[in-house]
Amino acid sequence: MKSAYNEIMGHLQVTSEMRRRALDRVAREDLSLRAGAAGIPALKKHLSAAACLVLLLAGAALLPRVLDRREAEPPPVLAVPNIVEAASLRELSSLVGFEVEEEFSLPFAPEETVYRSYWNEVAQVEYSGGGQSAVFRQSLGTGDNSGDYSAYPDTVEITAGDVPVSLRGSGGSYVLAVWTDGTCAYSLSLPLGASEEEWRGILEFNGGAHGGA
């Protein structure tokens, strides 16, 4: 409501005709009987009241138009991601249009696995079990697809198979690995973190970091 008030006041203009009518109203008051020194404060008081009346009347006339205009404005459109859950790795590969390579060794035994496609472009696999979790992503291209834009203080580059991998974390514990084979981008996040050597074991499984390629 404060912004509406400010908008009204920004459009408000007291014309000479409005001022004349206000002063005529004051003149019609019985102020002439109170001429002299004692009458000056009363006259100022009535003049102030008349000016306020002009502002209120003009504001009341503008308010409906301001509110109508605001109600006519369409609500903002929010982009809703196209997320489709798949029943298997094969179905997920079909949704995104490329073979999803789930070739690494997690540091825990997954009890539940969820497959999701984002915009039919990014394949995401979520693992959970024993109080631990992991999220794997694969997409065409070479850019970072992790969606994690945190500024980690520690970054180290390792080689898994023949592929450079960027590990990100802090205090010797790395929670995110990002890599590419030149065709697809990959990322694997472990919220509880793992050491550099543990990551080497995770990504060296079955032929290297890019799923046995």
The SS3 of residue 83 is strand
pTM of the complete model? 0.63
How high is the pLDDT of residue 185? 97
Is the pLDDT higher at 17 or at 170? 170
Is the pLDDT higher at 65 or at 151? 151
- Integer CA distances (angstroms), 47 to 18, 29, 42, 56, in order: 13, 11, 9, 14
- Quote the CA–CA distance of 167 and 153 in Å, as a whole number: 11
Tens of pLDDT, residues 85-144: 999 999 999 999 999 998 899 999 999 999 999 999 999 999 999 999 999 999 999 999
